[in-house]
């Protein structure tokens, strides 16, 4: 197995390789999780890749705020992920990550997380401020290793902003611009699907982001949930 690349810049020099692989769920979570979120601590993220840092500087915008529900040390304000002895990013292994106090203090958000029957590594709520643009990019989760299974990302829309917040997805054969309903989620392989988000409204946008390991349950989602279904997480 080749060594994981030490920086995103080195990886990006190899170019984007977008492939089809986006799942938009007909399942919509319902509940009253806003009060839970309002009590959480948030910290500002570092600019995670060069493209976003450039956009932040040009627009004079701050990066995302975040609160971790699962982190490498169990702290809700820890951003970092696991590194090897030489400082290289490594494959994220679920057992190396710990649930934080945020997970235990927010039962409705916890019910959303636990609804996904798969292993998970980092879990965070990202808060995107009004006017913020996260530029088109890919990630590099699976380039760091695949010993513990293919890595995918889940994004659950927590705010009710309508078309004021949106995603752009770009694959080999299409480009999709879409807004998610409150409680709706998408799953994608962010190594291969280029993606962008923007909040053009006047209110912050909260989004639950989970890094998961693909399994049979994930593969069966499209067949299991073939029509719209509401899942009440307040019960």
Name the pLDDT band for 1 (thresholds 50, 70, 90).
very low
Instruction: Give the tens place of pLDDT for each residue, 74-91.
Output: 999 998 776 666 556 678
Structure-token pair, residue 205: 């946008």
Q: Would residue 3 count as lying in a domain?
A: no
The CATH number given to whatever domain includes residue 181 is: 2.60.120.10
Residue 1 lies in a domain: no
Residue 15 has pLDDT above 60, yes or no: no
Residue whose pair of structure tokens reads 């692989």 in the numeric block: 21
Residue 227 domain-assigned (yes or no) = yes
Mean pLDDT of 126-143: 84
- What are the φ/ψ torsions at residue 14 (nearest 5 degrees)? -85, -5
Instruction: Find where tokens 């190396």 sit.
Output: 96
Does a structural domain hold residue 192? yes
Contact 198, 165 (CB under 8 A): yes
**pLDDT for res 7:** 40
Dist CA 151 CA 173 (whole Å): 22
The answer on pLDDT for 45 being more than 90 is no
Place of tokens 């912050």: 204
Identify the H or E element spanning 210: strand 205-213
What's the predicted TM-score (pTM) here?
Answer: 0.85
**Is residue 88, in this structure, part of any structural domain at all?**
yes
Supply the pLDDT for residue 85.
63
The 10 Å Cβ neighbour count of residue 35 is: 9
Percentage of residues in the chain having pLDDT higher than 70: 81
pLDDT, residue 55, reads: 66
**Is there a domain that residue 43 lies in?**
yes
The span from the CA of 10 to the CA of 49, in Å, is 11
Pick from 65, 75, 70, 99: nearest CA to 207: 65
Give me the sign of the Cα torsion angle 218, 109, 91, 180.
positive
- Output the pLDDT for position 100: 98
Q: Give mean pLDDT, residues 119-137.
A: 91
Q: Is residue 2 one of the residues assigned to a domain?
A: no
**Mean pLDDT for all residues in the chain:** 83
Does residue 135 have a pLDDT over 70?
yes
Report residue 184 as tokens: 């709706």
Check residue 142 and give its pLDDT: 73
Contact 123, 78 (CB under 8 A): no
Cα angle 68-122-79, degrees, rounded to a multiple of 5:
55
The reply to whether 124 falls in a domain is yes
pLDDT of 46 over the 60 cut: yes
Listed residue (66, 124, 64, 74) closest to 95, CA to CA:
74
Q: What is the pLDDT of residues 89-125, one digit of tens each?
A: 678 889 999 999 999 999 999 999 999 999 999 999 9
Contact present, 171 and 201 (Cβ < 8 Å): no
What is the domain count for the chain?
Answer: 1
In Å, what is the CA distance from 190 to each residue of 21, 54, 85, 99? Answer: 9, 20, 26, 23
What is the pLDDT, as a whole number, of residue 36?
97
Give Cβ neighbours of residue 96 (< 8 Å, ≥ 6 apart): 72, 82, 121
Q: Which letter does DSSP use for residue 191 in this model?
A: T
What is the residue range of 99's domain? 8-232
Residue-wise pLDDT tens digits, 144-199: 767 777 889 999 999 999 889 988 888 777 788 888 999 999 998 888 788 889 99
């Amino acid at each position: 197995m080749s060594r994981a690349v030490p920086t995103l810049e080195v990886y990006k020099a190899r170019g984007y390789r977008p492939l089809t692989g986006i799942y938009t769920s007909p399942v919509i979570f319902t509940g009253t999780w806003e009060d839970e979120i309002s009590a959480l601590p948030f910290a500002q993220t570092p600019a995670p890749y060069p493209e976003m840092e450039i956009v932040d500087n040009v627009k004079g915008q701050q990066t995302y705020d975040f609160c971790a529900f699962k982190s490498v040390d169990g702290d809700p304000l820890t951003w970092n992920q696991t590194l090897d002895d030489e400082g290289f990013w490594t494959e994220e292994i679920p057992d190396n990550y710990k649930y934080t106090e945020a997970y235990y203090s927010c039962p409705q958000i916890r019910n959303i997380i636990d609804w996904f029957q798969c292993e998970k590594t980092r879990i965070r709520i990202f808060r995107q401020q009004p006017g913020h643009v996260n530029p088109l990019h890919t990630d590099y989760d699976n380039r760091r290793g695949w010993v513990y299974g293919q890595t995918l990302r889940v994004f659950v829309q927590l705010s009710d902003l309508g078309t004021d917040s949106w995603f752009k997805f770009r694959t080999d054969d299409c480009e999709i611009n879409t807004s998610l309903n409150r409680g709706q989620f998408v799953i994608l392989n962010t190594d291969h699907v280029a993606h962008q988000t923007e909040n053009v409204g006047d209110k912050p946008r909260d989004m639950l982001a989970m890094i998961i390991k693909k399994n049979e349950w994930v593969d069966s989602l499209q067949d299991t949930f073939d029509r719209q279904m509401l899942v009440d997480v307040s019960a």
